[in-house]
Each structure stands twice: as structure tokens, then as C-alpha cells.
Amino acid sequence: MENSSPAEKRYDVSLSFAGEDRPYVELVAGHLRMRGIRVFYDAFEDVELWGKDLIERFAQIYERESELVVVFISEAYKQKAWTTHERRHALSAAIRSRREYILPVRFDATHLDGLSSSVGYIDATKTPASALAERIIRKLASLGIATAQSQENIDSSNTVTIDARSFMDDPAALYELPVSRFKNLSSFLNEIYFLIKTKVTPFRYGESWILRDESAGMVIKNSRMIYGNTWDREEPDTRPLSQAGINAGARLTVESVSHAN
């Protein structure tokens, strides 16, 4: 039986990876989510997964509820029972699919049973996380898979650009965020923090970054991270983005405090 139609799929893409490779995969997942892609990444759904039979739930996700599955191959991936479970169900769906279903991304040359070495792959060691996310988006489009991004016809005049290239030492770390997606400044900052947090590990008190609007000559936020999950404000900043000085069309730069001073 052929895979169900795109309208019935819950996820545009699901990510299968070992915990050792999470820092890279997390950046990929964050970029996909910011672009409106329905991505299954376990940390995004910790509440939804809480209390469920994960053997059964992961089987559903990787075999029946995803348009594509990206497998992040490494020696650690090969050794894990959970990743083996995910891969087996993805392979089962791939057998029934009439198009590409499993997209390999390699950290090393590890061989996985059931996945031919002749299948085209992307080398994670040579591909920035943001660039990989863009390739996944292009792959979805090339296969004719309608995503929320393609359906909503994003208006570029309603976006702001986040330039984190120098901060992350990643030439592809340019992000466009639709301002209408964020209720307040805190939700906006949380998205940026999610993207850059692997840059500032291990977390230390006083590790800071600055969000600056160069054209307006102003600092939007000097965000101090404590143990990786606490802002310097005790209460969320509930100001709408416009009140915080962030308007559509703005180009914001993320800088480390050491560079900004």
C-alpha cells in the first residue's frame, strides 16, 4: 500500500539521531521550525511524548506520519537501540514509497544495515546546520511536498533578518523570521537563543550576547544566560516586537559581548 497522501502526514520531516550528535541536529531542527517546516524533533515535543509508549509512538512517527526522515549517521547512531528502532520503521516506509524517503546525513563512514552505501548523502562535517536545513527545505519542494511554508506564501515585507554569521562562525547563519509569528519579545528571543545556544556551551554565569539593530544604532537586548535556560529578567518581556523596536524589514545582528564592547 502506498504512503498516505501529504495532507494526512503530521510532519514534513522527522529527524533520527544519536544523543551525541544532538548539538548539530538541534540547530537544524530550530532552523526548520523557524521556516515553518513541521519537523519532528524530540525536544520540541517533550510534553506531547510524556507518558506515552515511545516504542509505539516512534514507530508511528517514523513509518506513517512523516513525509521524509533524515537519518544522522555516526558510530554512536549505529550502537543505539532507539535509533535502530527508528531506522527500521523508516526503512519499512521507504520500501513502500515511490520516491526518496530516507535522507542520510553522515558524521562519519559508519555502515548501517538496510541502508545502501550507494545512496546519496550529505556530509555533516562540511555542511553548516543552517545550510543543511535549507537543503531539506529544497528537497521537500523538489518532491512536490506542500509544506506550511509553501502554502502560506510568506511576505518578505513582514520579516526581520537575523545575522548570526560572525557569532556562530557560520557563513550560512542568516535567518528570516516572520514578525507575526511572535506574540512578544520573549518568544522572539527564545527562538534566537535556541539557534545560538550551542555556541555558548558550556553554560556559565555571565555568558552574554547582544542583539543589535545596526541601521537604527540601538541595542535590542543584552541577554545574559544563566545555566543555559534563564534570562536576566525574572519576568518574561511581554512587549510586542514593535514596542521593543523590532519592525518588519529590520536587519538585526547577534554579537558576543566581547566583540560588542
Residue where the block lists cell 506542500: 146
Count the Cβ atoms, other than its own, within 10 Å of residue 89.
19
Task: Say whether both 141 and 71 belong to one domain.
Answer: yes
pLDDT band at 101 (very low <50, low <70, confident <90, very high): very high
In a domain, 1, yes or no: no
pLDDT digits (tens, 9 = 90+) for 104-137: 999 999 999 998 888 999 999 998 888 899 899 9
Query: What's the CATH number where 51 sits?
Result: 3.40.50.10140
Residue 229 has pLDDT above 50, yes or no: no
pLDDT for res 108: 95
Cα 33–Cα 199–Cα 128 angle in degrees, nearest 5: 60
Count the Cβ atoms, other than its own, within 10 Å of residue 215.
11
Task: Say whether both 142 and 28 belong to one domain.
Answer: yes
Global pTM value: 0.66
- β 122-123/102-106 pair status: parallel
CA dihedral for 68, 72, 78, 82, sign (positive or negative): negative
Task: Say whether both 109 and 143 belong to one domain.
Answer: yes
Boundary residue ending a domain (101, 133, 149): 149
Task: Say whether both 108 and 23 belong to one domain.
Answer: yes
Cα–Cα distance measured from residue 256 to residue 261, given in angstroms and rounded to the nearest whole number: 9
Domain ranges, residue 144: 6-149
Task: Say whether both 161 and 142 belong to one domain.
Answer: no
For range 77-87, the mean pLDDT: 97
Task: Say whether both 23 and 120 belong to one domain.
Answer: yes
Query: What's the CATH number where 187 sits?
Result: 3.10.20.90
- Please count the structural domains in the chain: 2
Task: Say whether both 141 and 45 belong to one domain.
Answer: yes
Task: Say whether both 36 and 140 belong to one domain.
Answer: yes
pLDDT for res 259: 47
Cα–Cα distance measured from residue 130 to residue 170, given in angstroms and rounded to the nearest whole number: 8
